[in-house]
Structure 1
Amino acid sequence: MAFRNEYAHRKVAETSAKSCEICFKPSTSVLITADNKDFFYVCPSHLKDPGFCTPKIDQAAIEARKKKELEEEIERVKKEYEEKKKKKEEKEKKDKDKKDKDKKKDDKEKKEDDKKDDDKAESKEEVKTPPPVEDEEPRVFELKATFYQGRLKKKRDAEIAKRQAEISKRNWERLQDPSLFPSVPKKLP
């Protein structure tokens, strides 16, 4: 009958919203045990309350996510560096070719080319910036002792009420059976 004090946070559809177990406001957040023995609706604001529950953080998953983000950032920086290096080499090569072919080119044309290249580089850099990574909310929570004991008591009371209902139903069925009572004597004494 007892279940572990480890609840997973789930979201339900807006149409399935029910009242919060604590404040009775409609909520789409549900805390449920791993074995599905217990669940209850709760507001997301209560999940942030340290007096109600504490998040269980998976350190290995957080470290793996940070490592992955770091590797992606390194790859992005390497690509940017390679592109800048390649552009610089191309620019130097163009400049060298231009000097060899025509040394009489106007300064105005050079400045315009430099401005165009700078504009292109800036536009590419703006496109390549990755969106900020949102911090994920914790998915597993552990209730404080008082709330957990309350959940156990509620579950126990529900089970007792179910047993009593079964017993009273069985008794009612017995009372409806005519063979339960003795029959009326047919002979005179």
Structure 2
Amino acid sequence: MALPNVYHLRRVADTSSKACLICFKPSTSVLITPDNKDFFYVCPSHLQDRNFCSAIVDTEGEAARLKEEKMAKEIEQVKKEYDEKQRRKKDRQNKSDKDKDEKEKDESKTKEKEDSGSKANDEKERDDKIDSIRKAGSESKPDNSPRVFALHKTFYQMRIDRLKGIEMAKRNQERMKNPSLFPSVPKGDIS
């Protein structure tokens, strides 16, 4: 039985927590092999112990994460530039409105109140959407901790021995159920 020394970190619900393999405290972190043959619960603090396991760095994943961060920064910069342009445009409109004649002001005030009310509502909705997008982006940021680990050789050997023991126990149970395993009673005369 070949068991790869590659374990993926998974999280479970608090209600599903079980004892850590090392310290027996309840833990919601699980290390599992890619083929789901072996798994065990472990505390997050033990994952940082270099004598227990070491992180396998995924260079492609790191590159993708860095690219996403760069794109997020560029998006923020574009949003700031857009907001600045909108503010400047609004300032220019206010200055041009002040320069108009008194007569046009009176007529435009009634129209402007209606327009500014709708413009203010539109701008408020736009700002609310931008804020909700920013909040959603900040909430959905994943943790930067490693997700794939390789166990130290002693712990890895312990897991292999455990799986071999389980397999041997199953084989022994099947042998015990087989009646041909036991010797039969002699059938001849013993005189």
- Assess same fold via TM > 0.5: yes
Corresponding residue for 1:151?
A: 159
CA RMSD between the two structures: 3.3
Corresponding residue for 1:108?
A: none
Distance 1:62 1:87, change over 3 A: same
Distance 1:163 1:27, change over 3 A: same
Deviations 1:87-145 (A, max 9, x none): 2133124313413436xxxxxxxxxxxxxxxxx99xx5994893544533322111011
Q: Find the partner of 2:185 among 173, 181, 185.
A: 181
Does 1:161 find its partner at 2:165? no
Corresponding residue for 2:109?
A: none
Instruction: Measure how far apart 1:147 and its partner are.
Output: 0.8
Amino acid paired to 1:181:
V
Instruction: Measure how far apart 1:64 and its partner are.
Output: 1.4
CA contact (8 A) 2:175 2:181 kept: no
Deviations 1:149-181 (A, max 9, x none): 1111222222223323333333xx24889xx32
Corresponding residue for 1:47?
A: 47
Structure 2: segments with no counterpart, 5+ residues: 103-122
Aligned length: 166
Amino acid paired to 1:140:
V
SS at match of 2:146: coil
TM-score w.r.t. structure 1 length? 0.70
Amino acid paired to 1:139:
R
Supply the distance in 1 between the matched residues of 2:6 and 2:164 (Cα, whole angstroms). Answer: 18
SS at match of 2:3: coil
Provide the identity percentage: 41
TM-score w.r.t. structure 2 length? 0.70
SS at match of 2:150: strand
Distance 1:182 1:143, change over 3 A: same
Distance 1:95 1:33, change over 3 A: same
- Bigger Rg over Cα: 1
Amino acid paired to 1:65:
R
Corresponding residue for 2:60?
A: 60
Supply the distance in 2 between the matched residues of 1:134 and 1:155 (Cα, whole angstroms). Answer: 33
Corresponding residue for 2:4?
A: 4
Corresponding residue for 2:89?
A: 89
Q: Point out the more displaced range, 10-19 or 24-33.
A: 10-19
Distance 1:57 1:46, change over 3 A: same
Instruction: Measure how far apart 1:38 and its partner are.
Output: 1.2
Q: Find the partner of 1:137 among 122, 142, 145.
A: 145
Instruction: Measure how far apart 1:71 and its partner are.
Output: 1.7
Structure 1: segments with no counterpart, 5+ residues: 103-119
